A = this chain, B = another copy of it.
Amino acid sequence: MDRGSKAPIHRQIYTQIRNMILTGDLPGGTRLPSTRTLGMELGVSRITMVNAFQILTSEGFLRSRAGDGTYVGNEWLNEAVTAPEVRRPELSSRAGLSASTRGSDLQRQTSPSWNPEDPESFVASQVGIDLFPTSVWKRLIGRHSEEQSIEMLGYPEALGHRPLREAVADYLRDSRGIDAAVEQIVITSGAQQAINALMLMMTDPGDEVWMEEPGHIAASAAMLANGCRVLPVPIDECGADLAQMPNELPAGRLMFLTPSRQHPLGVQMSLARRMDWVAWANEQGSWLIEDDCDSELRYRGSRLPSLYELDRGQHVVHVGSFSKIMFPSIRVGYVVLPEDLVDSFATAISVTGRAPATLMQAATADFIREGHLNTHVRRSRKTYAQRQEALLRELRNQLGSFIRAEAVDAGMHVIGWLPSTVDDQRLAAQLADKGVYTYALGDYLLERSLPPALLIGFAATDAGHMPDAVNYMVRALRHDGYSC
């Protein structure tokens, strides 16, 4: 008996007797001592033993005969029970179990992880949560969390909470220039769910899909998980370059693009390139998936029209998320689709995991409607610009001989180019060991076609703390023998 355990004593006794029966240590037909005797032996009250016996009897493990005592039952008894296979096998005997090809691929994927309590995080996707107006958020959440309606508590609408779809349509029109009907908008639990569902809907296993190189790791993961072959398209200072793809290549089923801020390199795709891709999609009958990640966080230059607008929504699915502009744990995003594809997409979402909690959708709708989102975007943009400036200054002052970084016009990280002999993946792992978190550019490449670099995030670090944060990185690098 484990008196420190949280399980009640009678439950512990129940579990032990049941396991003895299941392993065959107590064979069917065995007569058990009385509850009084057993209770005394185990040092527990008779009532505790009776409770344990009652559960075992109701479940068929024991049966009591009037005036005769309690026996191990045999309702559940068949060959399986006494066969040795039922004994807890060694883990190695299960090795074949998880050996589907897809499963093994998943096991090999490393997801960059970090400990929020560690000292210095430059994680590129980490937002400045200190800026988020949580008192406003609490009020909006509170407004809906007591609503006892089917709309609020029942299954979420397949296409998303209607008020949020309306708010997103207005938001896209007013701040992004995208003219889409409410009927074209489906709410998702973020860009990742959207991309995975689009792969399910648009591709078959073995299809070729085109992808930015370097590109969004999680998007490639969804492509691979859905059985697609991923063909890399090189990036230059104008964005993904169609002209560099050999003419004899089969037309891809789709191309994945991040035109507002190329992920991870940070460049904005030029208008001419945008038109190239729209023409390609039209000529080939292919799809463009436009992930509009970080389009709100633009510090310099104006935002160019989205692919969706340039194509006017015929071959482009526009994907957006509130994870970066509100906060990551919100898990609310959206897609804009041609209206005739909306139902297929909603089905793909319902197969892979359904819409986010209605409460989160309702509060997000109010956050947009009442102007808090625009205020928060403006505030974040201003503060992030200062944080970027501080990061670049400190990198130049403290690490100028080792890391070369230039300002990005949009987003939450800079690219810190390393000396060509350095292995960026190894370096990132070494830094992470010391609680300094960055991503390696190498992780974003299907082929090793670019020099080594780190993605260094600035959004989550206060400008005043930046000198210390970078100094900590310098010391970590020196400790590992890098001369900087």
Contacts and interface: CB of A to CB of B under 8 A. Distances in A.
Interface of A: 6-8, 11, 14-15, 18-19, 22, 55, 58-60, 75-81, 83, 85-86, 88-89, 91, 94, 96-98, 100-103, 106-107, 109, 111, 113, 116, 125-127, 129-130, 132, 134-135, 137-138, 141-142, 145-156, 158, 170, 173-174, 177, 179, 188-190, 192-193, 196, 200-205, 207, 218, 221-222, 225, 227, 253, 270-272, 274-276, 278-279, 282-283, 285-287, 302-305, 309-312, 314-315, 323, 327-332, 338, 340-341, 343-344, 346-348, 350-360
Contacts of A221: 350-351
A205 B207 CA distance: 14
Contacts of A149: 129
| Nearest 8 interchain pairs by C-beta | A80-B279, A76-B271, A193-B353, A58-B302, A85-B282, A329-B358, A153-B327, A116-B150
Contacts of A193: 352-354
A80 B111 contact: no
Nearest to A353: B193
Per DSSP, are chain A's interface residues mostly helix, strand or loop, or mixed?
Answer: helix
Given A132-B148, A276-B78, A282-B89, A354 B327 contact: no
A315 B94 CA distance: 8
Given A190-B354, A222-B351, 10 more contacts: A7-B179, A11-B173, A18-B305, A98-B344, A127-B154, A132-B148, A138-B145, A153-B327, A156-B329, A189-B356
A347 B111 contact: yes
Count this chain's copies in the assembly. 2
A272 B77 contact: yes
A331 B356 contact: yes
A283 B304 CA distance: 61
A310 B19 CA distance: 8
Contact of A100 (B150, B174, B201, B360): B201
A127 to B, nearest CB: 8
Contacts of A309: 18
Given A102-B200, A359-B329, A350 B76 contact: no
A119 to B, nearest CB: 13
Contact of A173 (B6, B283, B331): B6
Contacts of A188: 353
A276 B80 contact: yes
7 contacts: A8-B174, A79-B279, A116-B151, A129-B148, A135-B146, A137-B146, A156-B328
Contacts of A102: 200-201, 203-204
Given A158-B113, A222-B351, A358-B329, A150 B129 contact: yes
Given A60-B304, A153-B129, A350 B98 contact: no
A15 B179 contact: yes
Contacts of A203: 100, 102-103
Nearest to A129: B153
Contacts of A346: 111
A134 to B, nearest CB: 5
Given A271-B75, A314-B88, A331 B156 contact: yes
Contacts of A154: 116, 126-127, 129, 327-329
B59 A304 contact: yes
Contacts of A275: 76, 78, 80-81, 86
Contacts of A341: 98
Contact of A145 (B6, B141, B155): B141
A117 to B, nearest CB: 8
